[in-house]
A and B are shown apart, each in its own frame.
Chain A
């Protein structure tokens, strides 16, 4: 470490404890895949079934999608869907 760096480090270390947050967006492959041709607009069956509440209406389509990567791969959504529009894959990390 150069002398300048040595003087600078305590200042940066103190700053690192106080500075605000910076964030990015992560692209994630999710297990629940909805067939938009089959899914009924406005239907809530799978959204109500999900025990971890990870499904929601996609505002862009009005149809269901997996909004949060929080799936127990339990198949409740797939089993309860009246249109067989849902396929649950085993999450990639487990596959």
Chain B
């Protein structure tokens, strides 16, 4: 194992080379052709991040002629029950089309009509924002090629563990080489965190630790790093919960199948929701149906024409999660003959799908000067893939400008030494508790006490367990750099579990449908709770919840629009209970 410290210097360091990190690094390098841009990636940029294998479409494309930025801001404001920083959503909306055009020039293949126009589909409750990418399996390759061509310095297999802070501003990042156990200290004027979701938080129903919806490499690294550096996080109580294929835990993909005629039905074969767009309210309706006598719930495709089914298979079995076809085949299931059983996933934190992330404004700035965040870990609600890429660009633009105006930060050598001891401590316990067992226990407790519907009593018990887990980390051992990585990830997961409990306990109302459905406070209370709940580390080093007002809207909502997402349920047929199919 390496005992060297790799010392690097950068103007801008990007942590995480997925969708957000790739565009952040590309934009920073474009603006600093002679500058020092470094991209750290804990995996390898060619196959990393949430879309390691590609993506089948853009879920939030704002394309002239189909939607306007203002319409989109309204839709997301309503879908997120009003608690949004509209300026941040609008900054995305205003730049989303330019990002699509750029990706189009880079060779990303979007679905187009015969006249060359983008072929936009309607999936959301109100507007049309879905742009299919039936050949989206090339996306990651295209990004990687551009990173190589731009000459960006990439450090693969280096995982950020903590940020460096100097007199109230970010000073760089500390990392672990997960292959040779080397220790990296990157001094940087600006840091852009693009570490993805906290996708390994709840335990999948299958019990398989890595059978998550998100790429399991996304363990909440960025959430933990931002928190420990003193940045605020927000909307953590607005969990990510997805309607997934049972056991496989990948998306059932109503976004792909919906425009082709697929839809969600209950065991009686009846539709029960009007819109398959993933909102908290939709998830609550799905949860109610699943736990009723009409459950389970299915994706229904068996009514479609054979050629439509072939088209669906061509897209779903080649992009995003291509092993899906293998899963169905293994059970002798086919879309023409069998409905796809769906369920409610375990919880995660992810602003790409809901709203839980590091607090950022419309410039991608966190509350710590010099620290920026983009993608699934940065709170711009429902931001998805295109939001990650657009905000990667926004962050880079502002980080480069910031870096030009500040002097070189100082590296606190004592802090580096403290971190080195913390990261390598498990090596002194090669026969300590294995990381798998520690992680399994924390995540099982997340399911037991935090999976909605929530209540204070249960969450208090969970919080006590997560605080105990902090002590138990001192018993966890490692015998290799790989295991050191997993122990670090386990600590990130524990941090995120504590965040999820504290934020959910603080907001004593229900909001965002199932995401924050509290049995002890079942009503939404705009008078008291029309605020952001933020988390931060206080002076004693403990986690505290604070409130921030929702900034005045830049796009006004009409009163009759506010409740649109509350009207998703299709009334059950009035006839007597019917025979099950």
User: Footprint of B on A, CB under 8 Å?
Assistant: 20-21, 23, 48-53, 68, 70-76, 79-80, 88-91, 93-95
Given contacts A72-B216, A94-B206, A94-B211, contact A23 B43 (CB under 8 A): no
Given contacts A75-B53, A94-B248, contact A49 B46 (CB under 8 A): yes
Cα distance, A20 to B49, chains bound together (Å): 39
Residue of A23, A52, A91 with most partner-chain B CB within 10 A: A52
| Across-interface contacts of B248 in A (CB, < 8 A) | 90, 94
Subset of 27 A-B contacts with CB under 8 Å:
A21-B432, A23-B431, A48-B156, A49-B46, A49-B47, A51-B43, A51-B44, A52-B217, A53-B178, A70-B209, A70-B210, A72-B212, A72-B216, A72-B217, A73-B211, A74-B215, A75-B322, A76-B47, A80-B47, A88-B323, A88-B326, A89-B326, A90-B330, A93-B208, A94-B211, A94-B248, A95-B327
> Which of A21, A53, A79, A80 lies in contact with B485, CB distance below 8 A?
A53
B509 to chain A, nearest CB (A): 36
A60 to chain B, nearest CB (A): 17
B106 to chain A, nearest CB (A): 21
CB pair A52–B327 under 8 Å, yes or no, is no
Interface residues on B, range: 35 or more
**B207 close to chain A: CB less than 8 A:** yes
**B358 close to chain A: CB less than 8 A:** no
B15 to chain A, nearest CB (A): 16
| Across-interface contacts of A95 in B (CB, < 8 A) | 247, 327, 330-331
Cα distance, A72 to B331, chains bound together (Å): 19
Residue of B179, B211, B432 with most partner-chain A CB within 10 A: B211
B161 to chain A, nearest CB (A): 16
Q: Which residue from chain A places its CB closest to the CB of B245 in the assembled complex? A: A94
Instruction: For chain B, residues 308 to 325, give those with C-beta under 8 angstroms from any C-beta of chain A.
Output: 321-323
**B433 close to chain A: CB less than 8 A:** yes
Cα distance, A68 to B178, chains bound together (Å): 14
| Across-interface contacts of B49 in A (CB, < 8 A) | 51
CB pair B47–A93 under 8 Å, yes or no, is no
A32 to chain B, nearest CB (A): 11
Cα distance, A82 to B258, chains bound together (Å): 36
Question: Residue-by-residue, is B175-194 near A (CB-CB < 8 Å gives 1, otherwise 0)?
Answer: 00011000000000000000
